[in-house]
């Protein structure tokens, strides 16, 4: 049976006739048979090319299958952690600047000496200044650090912390590095002391007392409160910072050091304490082991 009857005219008089679809056949852009919904197929099977199953992108154009990848996101914590790796560069640069000014008798040294004479003649009571300066002695600072080391080792060993000895070892090495770094500086520069009982001596840059106090009390605070971001740690570190400021003021007030001697010691020991923090983070505290004694001492519910 023909689709359309042919006209009786000649071939030259015939008009073009569009082809008509036959029943049961599929054209190139029609869906498959039996409502399959697949182009180019009449047997209901899925298409071999992903043209029919392609999804649109964000703006309606052809794109990848969902989920569509978005722009890369940068976490603030990851950016801060990457910046913390370069944190020691700032105090080292400032320490190099101070050393250059002291060695070359630059304007910063002249300003430092004028400021030192003004603080030495200030109204800070001399007994209080002497007490604060004595906190930088090794006879006072080292026992404090030793007690913190023993307590930190005992607590970490009892809780079963992985690498429990690492924070205490880092603190001990930082304390031992203080004379190894300060003594060569003193011998190399040979800066004379401020007017006072030690004016005839040399070797005052940087201050050994200020460096000892900063490392000893700072490392002790880090050992006693190893978890960052908690208020006991922040409170203790703030108290240690104020204590070191008091030690520096006492050293300058009693004419034991110039102000820049103390500042250089803080810059130097800041790098040492940063190393202690970085090494302590590699030995995390096992919180589950600390919570185990508390849960074992909890009262047992009735009827259990």
Per-residue pLDDT at 102 exceeds 90: yes
Q: What are phi and psi of 62, to 5 degrees?
A: -65, 135
The token duo for 159 is 């809780």
- Could you tell me the maximum CA-CA distance found in the chain, to the nearest angstrom? 134
Per-residue pLDDT at 262 exceeds 90: yes
The token duo for 301 is 């519910």
**Residues 206, 268: contact at Cβ < 8 Å?**
yes
DSSP assignment of 230-299 equals SHHHHHHHHHHHHHHHHHHHHHHHTTSS-HHHHHHHHHHHHHHHHHHHHHHHTS---HHHHHHHHHHTSP
pLDDT of residue 200: 79
pLDDT of residue 14: 52
| CA–CA distance, 170 with 179 (Å, rounded to integer) | 16
Per-residue pLDDT at 221 exceeds 60: yes
- Name, in order, each residue with C-beta under 8 angstroms of 294's C-beta and a sequence gap of 6 or more: none
Per-residue pLDDT at 20 exceeds 80: no
pLDDT of residue 21: 55
Rg for the chain, CA atoms, rounded: 39
Q: What is the mean pLDDT of residues 57-75?
A: 51
Per-residue pLDDT at 288 exceeds 80: no
Among 58-72, 174-188, 203-217, 262-276, which stretch is predicted with the lowest mean pLDDT?
58-72
The rounded percent of the chain whose pLDDT value lies above 90 is: 40
| CA–CA distance, 54 with 73 (Å, rounded to integer) | 27
Could you tell me the pLDDT band of residue 86, with boundaries at 50, 70 and 90?
low
**Residues 102, 189: contact at Cβ < 8 Å?**
yes
Higher pLDDT, 68 or 91: 91
pLDDT of residue 204: 92
| CA–CA distance, 17 with 257 (Å, rounded to integer) | 109
The token duo for 233 is 């740690």
Count other C-beta atoms under 10 Å from residue 233's C-beta.
16
Dihedral angle at the C-alpha atoms of 43, 44, 47, 52, nearest 10 degrees? 130
Among 183-187, 269-273, 298-302, which stretch is predicted with the lowest mean pLDDT?
298-302
Q: What confidence tens digit (pLDDT) does each residue in 128-163 have?
A: 899 999 999 999 999 999 999 999 888 877 776 667
Closest CA to 208 of 180, 188, 189: 180
């Amino acid at each position: 049976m023909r689709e359309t009857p042919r006209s009786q005219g000649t071939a030259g008089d015939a008009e073009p006739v569009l082809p008509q679809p036959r029943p049961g056949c599929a054209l190139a852009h029609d869906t498959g048979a039996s409502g399959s919904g697949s182009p180019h197929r009449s047997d209901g099977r899925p298409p071999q090319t992903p043209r029919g199953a392609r999804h649109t992108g964000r703006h309606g154009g052809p794109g990848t299958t969902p989920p569509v990848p978005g722009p890369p996101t940068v976490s603030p914590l990851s950016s801060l952690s990457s910046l913390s790796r370069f944190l020691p560069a700032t105090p080292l640069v400032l320490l190099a600047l101070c050393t250059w000014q002291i060695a070359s008798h630059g304007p910063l040294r002249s300003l430092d000496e004028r400021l030192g004479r003004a603080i030495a003649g200030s109204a800070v009571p001399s007994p209080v200044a002497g007490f604060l300066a004595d906190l930088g002695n090794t006879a006072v600072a080292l026992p404090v650090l030793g007690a913190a080391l023993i307590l930190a080792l005992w607590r970490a060993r009892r809780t079963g912390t992985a690498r429990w000895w690492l924070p205490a070892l880092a603190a001990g090495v930082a304390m031992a590095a203080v004379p190894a770094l300060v003594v060569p500086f003193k011998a190399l520069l040979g800066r004379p002391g401020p007017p006072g009982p030690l004016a005839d001596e040399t070797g005052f840059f940087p201050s050994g007392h200020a460096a000892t106090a900063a490392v000893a009390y700072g490392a002790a605070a880090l050992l006693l409160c190893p978890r960052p971001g908690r208020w006991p740690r922040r409170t203790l570190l703030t108290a240690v910072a104020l204590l070191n400021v008091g030690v520096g003021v006492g050293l300058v007030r009693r004419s034991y050091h110039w102000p820049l001697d103390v500042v250089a010691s803080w810059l130097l020991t800041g790098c040492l304490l940063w190393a202690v923090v970085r090494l302590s983070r590699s030995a995390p505290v096992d919180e589950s082991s600390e919570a185990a004694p508390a849960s074992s001492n909890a009262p047992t519910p009735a009827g259990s």
